[in-house]
Amino acid sequence: MKHRNAALAPVLQQRTDIWAANDLPDAAQPGIPSGHPALDAELPGGGWPVGELTEVLSDCHGHGEMSLLLPWMAAASRREGWLVWVTPPARPHLPALAAAGLHTSRLLVIDADRPAERVWALRQALESGACTGLAGWLNKADTAMLRRLQLAARATTLPLVLFRPLDDRHLPSPAGLRLLLSPGPEHALRVDILKRRGRPASEPLHLRTRAIHPPATPLPPVAIRSPRRPALTLIA
């Protein structure tokens, strides 16, 4: 870490919880590699922050946005446990996911209509200790909901990735990392880092994508529904 004022260096070396505004925090907890070296180089900890809420703001669907998570999810699916997706916008296309290296037998999809139900499902998944990867789609959320998710994430060693609408980028959020996705050049996804620990990011990233198309015929899920609880859909 480089500091403009050498007199501050001894203080900052002793207080690893403090960093200069122009630096990324050296003492950030090691993250989980995203599988995108250019993105990892811009994230404190070198990957998805663990025990932290990450927000991905986007209104682009079908432009390869799931490629952002696929390398991490594929690696997580090789461990004992579940990959949990809460209310994705389309039914996962299993052949494409398998081709990307994801073990689809580990994928658990939870369908929930109301925002409160989605938050409940995400918290239950976090607290279960049975997950190796977790992502949710939340079209509406207030600050109290996001804070509950952030507190639940802090008690785990997992990243919690939450997809939210692009219009929510101007709303306050307790998330430690906020990314904005938009279509980039051909076969690329533009990633703007709106918020991270340490200094702000100045340049967007362009990541190569893999489109995940929906299947022509819906796959028959095994659904478990109980009153006042989201439906659990096991994709196998």
How many domains, the chain? Answer: 1
Residue 188, domain extent: 32-234
Q: What is the pLDDT of residue 9?
A: 55
| Predicted confidence (pLDDT) at residue 103 exceeds the cutoff of 60 | yes
Share of the chain above pLDDT 70, in %: 75
For residue 161, the surrounding DSSP H or E stretch is strand 159-164
Alpha helix (H) residue ranges in 77-187: 94-99, 115-128, 143-154
148 part of a folded domain: yes
Nearest partner of 86 among 134, 155, 158, 148, judged by Cα: 134
Q: Is residue 18 part of a domain?
A: no
CATH code of 147's domain: 3.40.50.300
137-172 pLDDT, tens per residue? Answer: 998 888 999 999 999 999 999 999 999 999 999 999
Residue 198 has pLDDT above 60, yes or no: yes
Domain assignment present for 58:
yes
**59: in domain:** yes
Residue 119, pLDDT > 90, answer: yes
Domain membership flag for residue 207: yes
Residue 217 has what pLDDT?
37
Please report which residue ranges of the chain form alpha helices under DSSP H.
9-14, 37-40, 70-76, 94-99, 115-128, 143-154
* pLDDT per position as a tens digit, 34-87: 999 999 999 999 999 999 999 999 987 766 778 899 999 999 999 999 999 999
Identify the three-state secondary structure at position 23. coil
In a domain, 146, yes or no: yes
CB contact burial 85-99 (16+ within 10 A = b; e otherwise) = bbbbeeebbbebbee
Question: Which residues, 6 or more positions from 63, have their beta carbon under 8 angstroms from its beta carbon?
Answer: 183, 189, 209, 211
> Cβ–Cβ contacts within 10 Å for residue 79, how many?
11
- Reported as a single tens digit per residue, the pLDDT across 7-24 is 655 654 454 445 455 455
The closest of 68, 67, 37 to 55, measured between CA atoms, is 68
Q: Is pLDDT above 70 for 233? A: no
Provide the pLDDT for residue 202.
80
Asked if residue 210 is part of any domain, the answer here is yes
- d(C-alpha 99, C-alpha 70), whole Å: 11
For the stretch 177-186, pLDDT in tens is 999 999 888 7
Average pLDDT of the residues in 87-93: 89
pTM, rounded to two decimals: 0.78
Q: How confident is the model at residue 223 (pLDDT cuts 50, 70, 90)?
A: very low
